[in-house]
Amino acid sequence: MAGFIPEDKIAEIRNTANVVDVVSQYVALRKAGKNSIGLCPFHAEKTPSFTVNEAKQIFHCFGCGQGGNVFNFLMLYHSISFPEAVRLLAQRYGIDVPTEHMSEGQKRQIQERENLFDINENACTYYRDTLLGSRGGVGRRYLEKRKIDQTVIDRFELGFAPDGWENLTRFFSAKGISLVDAEKAGLVISKKGGYYDRFRSRIIFPIRDVHGKVVAFGGRSLDDSLPKYLNSPETPVYHKGRSLYGLVLSKDACRKSGSVYVVEGYFDLLALQSHGVANVVATLGTALTKEHIRILKGYAEQIVVVFDSDAAGVKAAERSLPLFANEKVNARVLSLPEGHDPDSFVRQFGVEPYRKKAEEAMGIMEFLMASAIDRYGLSLEGKARVVEAMKGLLGALEDGVARSLYVKSLAERLDIDETAILERVRSSVQKTNQPVSGPNPGAGCKLEETLVAMMLQVPEVMCRCDAREIIDSFETNTLKEIARMIMGEYEARRDVTGADLMARTEDSEIRNLISSLSMRDRTWDEQSCLTIVRQYQNQLRGKKRRQLSQKIKAAEKARDETLVLELLAEKQRCIREDNKTLPG
């Protein structure tokens, strides 16, 4: 894993970076004794099981089992390679990373990403300068008509793509920027014999990631010509299912308020921002995804989704319900009056009525119940249609308690028997095979785990016994590998830490097990160490005696007297070994 970057440089970056500081950029952490805990960004949970230990510089989730050091966290969170994670941290802490030790493939991969970021930054500057220059008058007038003031324009770096097919293309050529790379960035499109600009005669919205790098752009036409909104295609640095407009500027406000508004359009976000609502993000031409929700729950406990009150808004709420429910996130729906979006609403009524509506926002299931009742009414036929509309949504809930509570609420609203609704809900639930739990680790495996956890803290105790014999006898291969890694580090006179060991393996199973064992708080003194080693040795001897007894029985059955005598002698030697103890 580390072959592309010198070990001393990796160690320098790891020792400079603080895992709590890095993780807290993405996960809302709170102190809990020696650790910091928060909701895991890698699986759905309502009670925090994601744990970060600053002293050991590691993280571990006791829910899904993911764990590692600061590099592993960034690799998992951003789906990037180890060298990319190293460079990301190096840039943050101002550490230079040499490239001469990298393979050509790794160099190309990193260079491509950096090229795309650089091209996007150049394009951002071009669009911004165009808006402010002589060719940007039509764009400035449009923004003025939309009541976007200069403060918002500057903060969000809005730009303008003038009319014409080759404005940006010529700009790139003049700067010596490869148009092949510009196409990879999604900014130009190839045609027979050349390239043309993707964005033309549009207001431009640069899209930055949480690190502040421009990853993509959105464009809004000036005259409602179709498509009204045009976004960059997905690229090696942009994935719309994981990207949220405005998050880089709103994340601090989200954490401070504990909530975040999710809107659908750029101008919805800008209108709220211009009225002092800072904790807002926008999706990028796509419905909310599981990844969006996991990212947002790292910044806010409550997510308020702003939907239209029309049929499309209800459909959007229906699609998002199972996502929020399965991710165990507290989500609410802010439904605006028909014909209004956040932009038009705050323009007409102001921000205070918006805040009041936000306070009245309903849970998603409550919203869907109310919408179904409004749509079908409370006649006999209407009630039947409401139950029909809600049965699938209720059945999709994995939390049985929540489902029962919602069924009870719906029964009260419709004034019908709760049992009748439950029958309809059950009929809609598809029966699935429940996963069969694997066997629980036996006592031997637990003892091996304890022994390796001890070795992580006091590896020197293994010099008091035959470490190789003990480790070779481990039944669990992953624990055997970790123990060998520990002794290898110790014998090489290097400090043994969980964070360092995790940096030396690409095996996620081994890494997760190291993080789990490293999180154990037990303090080891010499006597407790020797006790656990003796306990394991006794276990090995007992196992060996049982195996010899079985062999003796087999030899007696085969009437092999010579083998019987040899085995009996070996058994006697084992019995004498039982009386031996480790030196004190």
Do 211 and 147 share a structural domain?
yes
Peptide bond into 227 cis (omega under 30): yes
Which structural domain, as residue segments, surrounds residue 267? 247-368
Residues 6+ apart with CB under 8 A from 16: 93, 95
Q: Which two tokens stand for residue 426?
A: 């059950």
Residue 502 falls within a domain, yes or no? yes
Q: What pLDDT is recorded for position 99?
A: 65
* Residue that terminates a domain, selected from 348, 368, 388: 368
Residue 563 has pLDDT above 50, yes or no: yes
Residue 238 has pLDDT above 90, yes or no: yes
> Is residue 341 within 8 Å of residue 308, measured between CB atoms?
yes
Residue 432 has pLDDT above 50, yes or no: no
What letter does residue 17 receive in the DSSP assignment? S
Do 451 and 561 share a structural domain?
yes
Q: What pLDDT is recorded for position 582?
A: 46
Residue 104 has pLDDT above 80, yes or no: no
Q: Which two tokens stand for residue 369?
A: 């119940």
Residues 6+ apart with CB under 8 A from 372: 385, 386, 389, 390
Alpha helices in 226-308 (DSSP H): 247-257, 266-274, 290-296
Q: What is the dihedral of CA 26, 32, 35, 38, to 10 degrees?
A: -20
Residue 241 falls within a domain, yes or no? no
Greatest mean pLDDT among 163-177, 453-467, 492-506: 163-177
Do 406 and 302 share a structural domain?
no
Do 353 and 284 share a structural domain?
yes
3-class DSSP state of 519: coil
Do 256 and 320 share a structural domain?
yes
Distance CA 164, CA 306 (A): 36
Q: What pLDDT is recorded for position 66?
A: 94
What CATH number should be reported for the domain holding residue 299? Answer: 3.40.1360.10
Residue 581 has pLDDT above 60, yes or no: no
Do 401 and 289 share a structural domain?
no
Q: Is 298 exposed, middle or buried (0-12, 13-18, 19+ CB in 10 A)?
A: buried
Residue 19 falls within a domain, yes or no? yes
pLDDT: which is higher, 104 or 251 = 251
Do 324 and 258 share a structural domain?
yes
Q: What pLDDT is recorded for position 576?
A: 67
Least confident of 89-98, 173-182, 228-237: 89-98
Residue 438 has pLDDT above 60, yes or no: no
Over the stretch 294-321, which tens digit does the pLDDT of each residue have?
999 999 999 999 976 667 777 887 888 8
* Residue 574 binned pLDDT confidence (cut-offs 50, 70, 90): low
Residue 438 falls within a domain, yes or no? no
Residue 441 has pLDDT above 50, yes or no: no
Do 217 and 122 share a structural domain?
yes
CA distances from 28 to 20, 38, 39 (A): 10, 6, 7
Do 274 and 152 share a structural domain?
no
Q: What pLDDT is recorded for position 87?
A: 87
Do 318 and 226 share a structural domain?
no
Q: Which two tokens stand for residue 300?
A: 């806010």
Residue 97 has pLDDT above 50, yes or no: yes
Residue 179 has pLDDT above 80, yes or no: yes
Crossing angle of the two packed helices 342-349 and 351-359, in degrees rounded to 10: 120
Residue 222 has pLDDT above 90, yes or no: yes
Residue 433 falls within a domain, yes or no? no
* Residue that terminates a domain, selected from 102, 121, 136: 102
Do 417 and 358 share a structural domain?
no
Residue 437 falls within a domain, yes or no? no
Do 381 and 363 share a structural domain?
no
Residue 583 falls within a domain, yes or no? no
> What string of H, E and C letters represents the secondary structure of 1-16?
CHHHCCHHHHHHHHHH
Mean pLDDT over 57-72 rounds to 94
Render the burial of 364-392: b for 16+ CB within 10 Å, e for the rest. bbbbbbebbbeebeeeeeebebbbebbbe
Q: What pLDDT is recorded for position 436?
A: 34
Map tokens 């002092």 to a residue. Answer: 276
pLDDT: which is higher, 537 or 85 = 85
Residue 100 has pLDDT above 70, yes or no: no
> What string of H, E and C letters represents the secondary structure of 32-67?
ECCEEEECCCCCCCCCCCEEEECCCCEEEECCCCCE
DSSP state letters, 397-421: -S-HHHHHHHHHHHHHHHTS-HHHH
For residue 547, which of 571, 578, 576 has the smallest C-alpha distance? Answer: 571
What CATH number should be reported for the domain holding residue 173? Answer: 3.90.980.10
Residue 3 has pLDDT above 50, yes or no: no
Distance from the first to the final alpha carbon of the chain: 41
Count the domains in the chain. Answer: 5
Residues 6+ apart with CB under 8 A from 408: 418
Q: What pLDDT is recorded for position 579?
A: 60
Q: What pLDDT is recorded for position 203?
A: 98
Q: What pLDDT is recorded for position 310?
A: 67
* Residue that terminates a domain, selected from 80, 102, 124: 102
